Amino acid sequence: RCRILGVYSKGSVGCFLIIVRRNEAMLRSNVHLTLLAMAAGCTAYIPATPMHSRRLTVATSIQGNPARIARKASGLGLRSVRSVAVNAQPNAPTAMDWDTLTDHQWGSVETEFMTIAKFSPETGDKWAPAEVMPYGDIPTSPRAAIFNYGQGLFEGMKAQRTAEGKIVIFRPDRNSRRANYGCERLMMPPVPEEIFVQAVKDVVLANAAWVPPAGQGTLYIRPLIMGSGPILALAPPASFTFMIYVSPVGSYFKGNQLTPIKLKLETGYTRAAPGGVGGVKAVGNYVPSLKPQKEAKEQGFDNVIFLDSEEGKYIEEVSTSNVFVVKDDVVYTPGVKGGGSPEDTILEGVTRDCLLTLCRDKGYEVKEGLVPVELMMTADEAFTVGTAVVISPIGEATHLGTTHKLAGEKGPITQYLYETLVGIQTGKIEDPYGWTIYLD
């Protein structure tokens, strides 16, 4: 039940910093202030890594005035031990051997910290600010609404590095907005934007060593909001939990980011129906897609494109992303009303919104609305878009046994959008929209 967070050394003397995770009060005690002072006077810091990927990491020298470092750390709690030590080379990516990142299953690498906020009668029936805690299991009642009725939603975001090594996040306000109207639909109290965005910043900086170097991956950010209070009756509980954890990741699909994928237009299963929750990131939307995905992969496809539930004539989205289709230099994508409208059967994607803006500013004609299967099966280019996949070009699309080959990664609009979006996200291209936020 203990966790070695790091090894501090001064000369030939070493000290293990150990936190007993069961005793959360210790995190708020004055003990960590003594440890901070000791860390500020040390010459090297070696961050510990989770047990499954334990390896010697690069020691970072601590520079700067110890008093200034201690002042900077005050009020930040345990997370400041990590950030103070790493700030020698500001937030250096020292957590693991990044050449091995793709050896791990996507999203399986555990990091060191998470953020947690609570809403309950004890907090005055309002959201308390999120606290940074050591990553690990959380105690939850078997009667929790999330377990019994699936009352929960999630978001997906990324932090990454610029070529200069700076850490940036991308449009967290949009994820906060989408989470909030999802909460309203699922009868959960919306998390105020300032609490949501600050929790994102805190968890990224606490895990700064886990943000891969530029070009070697990204730090995936997973916010969760759920009914954590006990209630057996079908009704909202009294308490809720908002948490964020992170994991360094490479490309979502096999190969590199622009490796073309093969998709099956799914005719046997549907994802969502009008009047349901297809327009919000409810946790219950995703598990039902696993069976059609499995069947499609057994047939040699990478994933499926779901069709509309009423007629089966129009494409909607892949289980993990929105879809764009290009024909004669016109860009098509299924339309949304947005804001969690019950009429929506697809998600109001953040990446989708970015690409629509980029297309219009480039002068491409853009059409949002119904996208017929026939258009998909005669298109010049097509690609899926989302936080996890970024932009994945579609190389082949198959409908009822008929396969149509597309331009894949060679599509000019696909290439332009990928290079421009990733360029903005990583600081290679000027951001005229104010989408990127630098954290260091």
Q: Is 166 a catalytic residue?
A: no
CB 224 within 8 A of CB 115: no
Beta bridge partners, 403, equal 398
User: pLDDT for 349-408, tens place per residue?
Assistant: 999 999 999 999 999 999 999 999 999 999 999 999 999 889 999 999 999 999 999 998
Specify the amino acid at residue 247.
Answer: S
Reduced 3-state DSSP string for 38-54: HHHCCCEEEECCCHHHC
Q: Which residues of 186-212 are buried (b: 16+ CB within 10 A; e: fewer)?
A: bebbbbeeebbbbbbbbbbbbbbbbbb
Q: Within 13 Å of residue 70, how many CA atoms lie on the same side as its CB?
A: 14
Q: What's the whole-model pTM score?
A: 0.81
pLDDT tens, the chain, 440 aa long = 344 444 444 343 444 444 444 344 334 434 444 454 444 444 333 444 443 333 323 333 333 333 333 333 333 333 333 443 444 466 899 999 999 999 999 999 999 999 999 999 999 999 999 999 999 999 999 999 999 999 999 999 999 999 999 999 999 999 999 999 999 999 999 999 999 999 999 999 999 999 999 999 999 999 999 999 999 999 999 999 999 999 999 988 776 778 999 999 999 999 999 999 999 999 999 999 999 999 999 999 999 999 999 999 999 999 889 999 999 999 999 999 999 999 999 999 999 999 999 999 999 999 999 999 999 999 999 999 999 889 999 999 999 999 999 998 889 999 999 999 999 999 999 999 999 999 98
Cα-Cα-Cα-Cα dihedral sign, residues 269, 387, 350, 116: positive
Q: Among residues 89, 102, 100, 77, which one has the least CA distance to residue 47?
A: 89
Residue 89: the pLDDT is 67
User: pLDDT for 160-195, tens place per residue?
Assistant: 999 999 999 999 999 999 999 999 999 999 999 999
- What are the tokens at 136? 């690990």
Largest CA distance in the chain: 73
What is each CA distance from 151 to 144, 181, 189, 238, 239, in whole angstroms?
Answer: 9, 14, 12, 13, 12
- What are the tokens at 119? 């809403």
- Residue in 158, 166, 281, 297 annotated catalytic: 281
Sort strands 157-161 and 167-170 into parallel, antiparallel or unpaired. antiparallel
Residue 90: the pLDDT is 64
Alpha carbons 217 and 99: distance in angstroms, whole number: 10
